[in-house]
Amino acid sequence: MSKKTIKWGILGAGWISSKFVRDLAYAEGAEVTAVAARSLEKAAAFAKEYGIPRAYGSYEELANAPDVDAIYIGTIHPAHHENLLTCLKAGKAVLCEKPFTMTAAEAREAVQVAEENGAFLMEAMWSRFLPPLRQVSEWLAEGRIGEVRLLKADFGFNTDWNPEGRLLDPKQGGGALMDAGIYPISLASFVFGRKPNTIQSTVHMGETGVDEHFSLLFDYGDGKTALLSAAVRLYMGEDAWILGTKGRIYLPRFLFADRATLLVEGEEPVEFVDERKAEGYCFEAEEVMNSLREGKKQSDIMPLAETVAIMETLDSIRKEWKLVFPFE
């Protein structure tokens, strides 16, 4: 029996929205009916490229479109808060790109507005829904590597020098923490299930005033720690290791994961391989759609309380660095 069709609206017509729309083709029951951008011309071009029936030149029009069930927000980071409120006040289900907002206060307000309007809301931490991460979740729940004591995860790349570009411009919420660092930090939340007790860090602030690379030490007590690093002006690995008292789990390219390896002392290695054709954004979309079909207001895999807690961790890190964005 086919699943009920969920009609999607796309808010923002940039690169990440393109990737999301292409992947929706792999999500059963997904239909894109509309797209909105800051200009009608840009929205119309996007709609033409991806065969979307309607284009809007304002986000309010999309939020109030009658034939849209769920809206994907793919705008720049500082715009998320306003975009969230616009869509949620219209009662639309929302999947919002990471980072969910720029501050924990903004995240809490979005959650409150969702509750007041009876709207579904979820952070688009796409890697959390990839099949290898779901398998790792099962291994951890089963205690296959014993008690988890250490996580090591890095994600960094060297972007071209462009002071006005999104990644290096403080006015656009640039820097490694909010763009790349959110991934290892979210992975730590996934592995340990809570915020760290204490945070130590080192950071390199670039000449535009944003963090270009950093390292973090999260202490959870009882010998549990996370070693994390990220960068936007420095090549790094993209791998993660989860180490426990009985074994370890290896996640190569963890935020794009197509495999995971379980290594338990005294046992043969177990490798989970995902041979998906999609890039992987379809899985977060399926979580939204299945939740809507079941009448849920949030995801069991990426709950809102965890999203807020991650934003609180980001706030704490920026406070230590004295990193304040111009729009705050």
**Is 110 contained in some domain?**
yes
Amino acid at 235: Y
- Rounded Cα–Cα distance for residues 136 and 131 (Å): 9
> Do 137 and 264 belong to one domain?
yes
pLDDT in tens, 218-272: 999 999 999 999 999 999 989 999 999 999 999 999 999 999 999 999 999 999 9
So what's the pLDDT on residue 237?
A: 87
Q: Which ranges in the chain belong to alpha helices (H)?
A: 15-24, 40-50, 59-63, 80-89, 104-116, 131-141, 176, 182-192, 281-293, 304-321
CATH number of the domain within which 229 lies:
3.30.360.10
For residue 104, the 8-state DSSP code is H
Report the Cα 134 to chain-centroid distance in Å. Answer: 15
Q: What's this model's pTM, rounded to 2 decimal places?
A: 0.96
So what's the pLDDT on residue 2?
A: 59
> Do 103 and 200 belong to one domain?
no
- Rounded Cα–Cα distance for residues 70 and 205 (Å): 38
Total count of residues recorded for the chain: 328
- Rounded Cα–Cα distance for residues 272 and 226 (Å): 24
Half-sphere exposure (Cβ direction) of 36: Cα atoms closer than 13 Å:
21
Instruction: Give me the number of domains the chain comprises.
Output: 2
248 contacts: CB under 8 Å, gap ≥ 6: 145, 241, 242, 263
> Do 51 and 184 belong to one domain?
no
> Do 260 and 143 belong to one domain?
yes
For the chain, the average pLDDT equals 97
**Is 326 contained in some domain?**
no
So what's the pLDDT on residue 1?
A: 47
Ramachandran class of 266: left when φ > 0, alpha when ψ lies in -120 to 50, beta otherwise: left
Q: Which of 241, 273, 305 is the last residue of a domain?
A: 273
So what's the pLDDT on residue 177?
A: 98
- Rounded Cα–Cα distance for residues 261 and 136 (Å): 9
The structure tokens listed for 165 are 């570009």
pLDDT in tens, the chain (328 residues): 458 999 999 999 999 999 999 999 999 999 999 999 999 999 999 999 999 999 999 999 999 999 999 999 999 999 999 999 999 999 999 999 999 999 999 999 999 999 999 999 999 999 999 999 999 999 999 999 999 999 999 999 999 999 999 999 999 999 999 999 999 999 999 999 999 999 999 999 999 999 999 999 999 999 999 999 999 999 998 999 999 999 999 999 999 999 999 999 999 999 999 999 999 999 999 999 999 999 999 999 999 999 999 999 999 999 999 999 999 9
| Residue 41 belongs to domain spanning | 6-127+280-297
> Do 161 and 111 belong to one domain?
no
